[in-house]
Amino acid sequence: MKSAMGIFSRNRTNDTNGTETAAVSTPIKVAVVYYSSTGTIAEVSKQIAQYAEKAGAEVRLLKAAELAPQEAIDANTAWAANAAATADIPEATPADIEWADAVIFGSPTRFGNIASQLKQFIDTLGGLWAQGKLADKVYSGFASSSTTHGGQESTLLALYNSFHHFGGIVVAPGYTDPAKFADGNPYGTSHVDAQGNNPVDHTTREAARVQAERIVRITTALKTGLATT
């Protein structure tokens, strides 16, 4: 098994007393990996990536590869528009997950579960899992649905099942900031798109900010702590 010490780099430095201590000098690495058909989760992903970067992380914004046939995409205006708008975003690979200290996954609800495209990507991580390389990283998630009680929590909890199998450190936003009482989902940022009639709004952007900042803060603390032990 690759230990956390292997994942987290460590440098020697002097504190104010001149004592040599271990410290983390490189920014933490965050991979934001999402799937989105009609653009809602793509928009939330951008927010999370931007806020994580603003909080000091090195960020990779990545999408799960599409599995649907081109005819299905072309038949849905919003889906086709999102595919075109996100064409430049690289597709996630297992190497991106190995690279990251923290991974934040995003998915629309699909009958209360994650989208098959994201699941397919997660299923490609078996090789890393077998080598212990998914363990000791921070994981978190975000979701969207069409309706208010349409399955956001069950989608996030289904996603979080896999994180336990990874040996991951699950960091949910909880109600750690007043903004979380507005979006109301302690499991992860979530947005109700009302069948495309409710674009990503201030409430969801604030939830994205809180989650991104928390992931960077907790991951940095873990990295620093592990580097000093």
Ligand X SMILES: Cc1cc2nc3c(=O)[nH]c(=O)nc-3n(C[C@H](O)[C@H](O)[C@H](O)COP(=O)(O)O)c2cc1C
> Which spans of this chain sit near ligand X (rule: CB under 6 A)?
36-42, 108-112, 144-147, 150-151, 193
Residue 186 CB, shortest distance to ligand X, in Å, is 19
Residue 151 CB, shortest distance to ligand X, in Å, is 5
Residue 221 CB, shortest distance to ligand X, in Å, is 31
CB nearer to ligand X: pick between 162 and 204: 204
SS3 sequence, the chain? Answer: CCCHHHHCCCEEEECCCCCEEEECCCCCEEEEEECCCCCHHHHHHHHHHHHHHHCCCEEEEEECCCCCCHHHHHCCHHHHHHHHHCCCCCECCHHHHHHCCEEEEEEECECCECCHHHHHHHHCCHHHHHCCCCCCCEEEEEEEECCCCCCHHHHHHHHHHHHHHHCCEECCCCCCCCHHHHHCCCCCCEEECCCCCCCCCHHHHHHHHHHHHHHHHHHHHHHHHHHCC
CB nearer to ligand X: pick between 50 and 113: 113
Residue 27 CB, shortest distance to ligand X, in Å, is 28
CB nearer to ligand X: pick between 15 and 88: 88
Residue 191 CB, shortest distance to ligand X, in Å, is 7
CB nearer to ligand X: pick between 67 and 221: 67
CB nearer to ligand X: pick between 68 and 218: 68
Nearest residue to ligand X by CB is: 150
